[in-house]
Chains A and B, each alone.
Chain A
Amino acid sequence: MDTLFGIPTAALIGQLVVGLINGSFYALMSLGLSIIFGLLHVVNFAHGAQYMLGAFVAWGLLHYLGLSYWWALILAPLVVAAFGILLERTMLRHLYAVDHVYALLLTFGISILMEGAFRLWFGVSGQPYPNPLQGGIDVGLSFLPMYRVWVILAGLAVCLVTWYFIEKTKLGAYLRAANENTPLVRTFGINVPRMLTLTYALGVGLAGFSGVMAAPIYQVSPLMGSNLMIIVFAVVVIGGMGSIMGSIITGFALGAIEGLTRVIYPEGAGVVIFIVMIIVLAVRPNGLFGRAH
């Protein structure tokens, strides 16, 4: 099967893989956003900046401490989550009581601040980060780079573990309850502020994790977050904000669609997600998996 519908199969599978890689980033990022929004009702505009922070922490760990990618995979999300905890405890927490738009504007301001600071420090060009998994596997139809396969599998695994944690474990149930009916849950003796902080830290940690995974593929640059965020917001709108599984499925699906579009009609690749968004909104105003708010 050298060609499929007139397109070389190798190219098709290659772009599909790239699409799924993008999809795993979309899924991870929109998962983080959905967790933070669904539970805290805060749109974390700083998500892209925290993703960028994760990548820079990984780069910094390698550059200054000589720690490899595998160390960074564990440490960087923790560092970014710690930063998220700091942000939540000092500033975000005070905004839960007022209109949620202020929390959005705060995170928006934080994202601009971080981008400016990193641009000042590093300039806009990217820093290279070495590929930790060289080589690839030949699956007959196409040649798949090892690292890309790892990204897809790791991304999917983390998404599913997070979903399981939120939906099926006791701590996840506490998180959901604390965000849904805070006063009642407080009377049960559960430390609600800590739950809220943990929620934010989890979402932010996911962003940091995505950043580390992205470092070998994309240049580690201060602009990497804002470029991604716009698409991630569209993904979240399509999937329906607040739905955990919805974000995961939509992320991977849109990544695949984008990849296929790149092969079939390359000019449309940049805008296909938004076209899908318009169609979905016209048919299902709450997104594919969202509930009416």
Chain B
Amino acid sequence: MHFFSQRTNTVLLVLALVALLLAPLVAYPVFLIKLMCYALLAASVNLLMGYAGLLSFGHAMFFGTAGYAAAHAIKVWGWDGSAAILLAMLCAMAVAVITGLLAIRRHGIYFSMITLAFSQVIYFFALRLPFTGGEDGIQNVPRPEVFGFISLADNTTLYYFAATLVAAAFWLIYRIVYSPFGQVLRAIRDSEARAQSLGYQVLRYKLVIFVLSAALAGLAGALKVITFQLATLNDVNWTTSGEALLICIVGGLQTLLGPVIGAAIIVSMQNYLVAMAEWVLIIQGLVFVVVVMLFRKGIIGQLYAWLETRQARQAAPQEAQSQAERQSRSQTGQGA
């Protein structure tokens, strides 16, 4: 964000919005929505991992729980789309509060393992509870109306609705990261003991960001279910959490654009190879290995690092010049 001038940033943002508006003309809207949902899911994982230092392996439980809630609300109770999405997000947040209270107290890998284990509990509930339909899932979820009069049956209308929500969610992430709250989170990530010694209620901050991240994942889940009209066990499976992680790593942890680029690559790759399920696994595994070994910063991360070195190099001659001036001044001072 700080690599370009304010004006360049604004121009880029406007271009991005235009691209978002015109995208359905060049690509299949449902594919674009899938891309956005996975980008948002990855962004929620990234928010937790990159800025709070909490690696969650269980985000599928928020994604899937919200999906089931939205599907049930729309199909069985006939709710309005917006209400269903809100309910879905609240369900995801409820799960986050319950699991977070137990998981937050642990650090590092223990936290990750606990989120994974909780995710399995949710998977088991999804498998067993009658309303989730077990192995069949909730099928044929009708496209709902939103705000009482906008029907989402048309793919393009749905795309614009989803794009608005996802853009708002990303804007929310941006505001969270670059806010005093976000600064405290980063302080906690860098040195929890010090943050606590400064008087911050570390556990409370962690729980809040955990629940916020879950809400965003829930939004992604609800949108995905509305679009594909299907809520399945796959949404709560740990492989979905793994995919979100893969997208984060490929795009670049601790970046805002990373999840978007990562999702574009991974979802496109899955789409392209849909006939060859095993090859998808192999390629995903290879991508993981290659990115972790060679491109740890991810695509956007690598780009930012390159921009930073370029900026430092441009500033360096100025630095050298001012240093030389200072030296000559002190020399003449000494001489005199």
Q: Of A95, A116, A274, which is in contact with the most chain B CB atoms at under 10 Å from its CB?
A: A116
With an 8 A cutoff between CB atoms, is A100 at the interface?
yes
* A100-B108, A237-B110, A281-B114 known; A109+B292 contact, CB < 8 A: yes
With an 8 A cutoff between CB atoms, is B238 at the interface?
yes
Inter-chain contact A285/B106, CB cutoff 8 Å: yes
Inter-chain contact A233/B296, CB cutoff 8 Å: no
Report the Cα distance A101→B57, complex, angstroms: 12
Tell me the residues in window 104-133 of chain A with beta carbons closer than 8 Å to chain B beta carbons: 104-106, 108-117, 119-120
A111 neighbours in B (Cβ, 8 Å): 285
Inter-chain contact B278/A116, CB cutoff 8 Å: yes
* A105-B245, A274-B121 known; A113+B285 contact, CB < 8 A: yes
With an 8 A cutoff between CB atoms, is A55 at the interface?
no
Contact pick for B128, options A95, A267, A285, CB 8 Å: A267
Q: Mark B151-181, 1 if CB is under 8 A from A, else 0.
A: 0000000000000000000000000000000
Q: Mark B260-297, 1 if CB is under 8 A from A, else 0.
A: 00000000000000000111111111111100110010
Report the Cα distance A105→B55, complex, angstroms: 11
B249 neighbours in A (Cβ, 8 Å): 105
Report the Cα distance A182→B199, complex, angstroms: 35
* A112-B242, A117-B282, A271-B124 known; A105+B288 contact, CB < 8 A: yes
Q: Mark A74-113, 1 if CB is under 8 A from B, else 0.
A: 0000000000000000010011001011101110111111
With an 8 A cutoff between CB atoms, is B105 at the interface?
yes
What is the interface size of chain A, counting residues whose CB is below 8 A from a CB of the partner?
Answer: 42
Inter-chain contact A120/B279, CB cutoff 8 Å: yes
Inter-chain contact B124/A274, CB cutoff 8 Å: yes
B293 neighbours in A (Cβ, 8 Å): 91, 94-95, 106
A98 neighbours in B (Cβ, 8 Å): 296
* A108-B242, A120-B278 known; A277+B109 contact, CB < 8 A: no
Inter-chain contact A277/B288, CB cutoff 8 Å: no
Inter-chain contact B120/A230, CB cutoff 8 Å: yes
Inter-chain contact A293/B108, CB cutoff 8 Å: yes
Q: Shortest Cβ distance from B110 into chain A, in angstroms?
A: 7
* A113-B281, A113-B286 known; A282+B102 contact, CB < 8 A: yes
With an 8 A cutoff between CB atoms, is B74 at the interface?
no
Task: Tell me whether chain B's interface is mostly helix, strand or loop, or mixed.
Answer: helix
Report the Cα distance A237→B119, complex, angstroms: 14
B109 neighbours in A (Cβ, 8 Å): 37, 43, 100-101, 104, 241
With an 8 A cutoff between CB atoms, is B94 at the interface?
no
Report the Cα distance A27→B236, complex, angstroms: 27
With an 8 A cutoff between CB atoms, is B194 at the interface?
no
Report the Cα distance A112→B242, complex, angstroms: 10
Inter-chain contact B289/A233, CB cutoff 8 Å: no
Inter-chain contact A112/B110, CB cutoff 8 Å: no
* A94-B293, A109-B289, A115-B281 known; A285+B105 contact, CB < 8 A: yes
Inter-chain contact A281/B120, CB cutoff 8 Å: no
Inter-chain contact A112/B288, CB cutoff 8 Å: yes
Report the Cα distance A277→B280, complex, angstroms: 33
Q: Mark B228-244, 1 if CB is under 8 A from A, else 0.
A: 00000000001000100
Contact pick for A278, options B102, B282, B288, B296, CB 8 Å: B102
Q: Shortest Cβ distance from A226 into chain B, in angstroms?
A: 9
Inter-chain contact B289/A281, CB cutoff 8 Å: no
By beta carbon, the residue of chain A nearest B120 is: A230
Chain B residues at the A interface, C-beta cutoff of 8 Å: 55, 102, 105-110, 112-114, 116-118, 120-121, 124-125, 127-128, 238, 242, 245, 249, 277-289, 292-293, 296
Chain A residues at the B interface, C-beta cutoff of 8 Å: 37, 43, 91, 94-95, 98, 100-102, 104-106, 108-117, 119-120, 230, 233-234, 236-237, 241, 267, 270-271, 274-275, 277-278, 281-282, 285-286, 293
29 contacts between A and B (CB under 8 A): A43-B113, A94-B293, A95-B293, A101-B55, A105-B245, A105-B292, A106-B288, A106-B289, A106-B293, A109-B284, A110-B288, A112-B282, A112-B288, A113-B282, A113-B288, A117-B282, A119-B281, A230-B116, A233-B113, A236-B113, A237-B110, A270-B124, A271-B121, A271-B128, A274-B121, A277-B114, A278-B118, A278-B121, A286-B106
Known: A234-B117, A274-B118, A285-B106. 6 other contacts (CB 8 A): A105-B288, A109-B284, A113-B285, A116-B280, A274-B124, A277-B117
Across the A-B interface, the 10 shortest Cβ-Cβ residue pairs: A109-B288, A113-B285, A116-B281, A116-B282, A112-B285, A120-B278, A109-B289, A274-B121, A119-B278, A271-B124
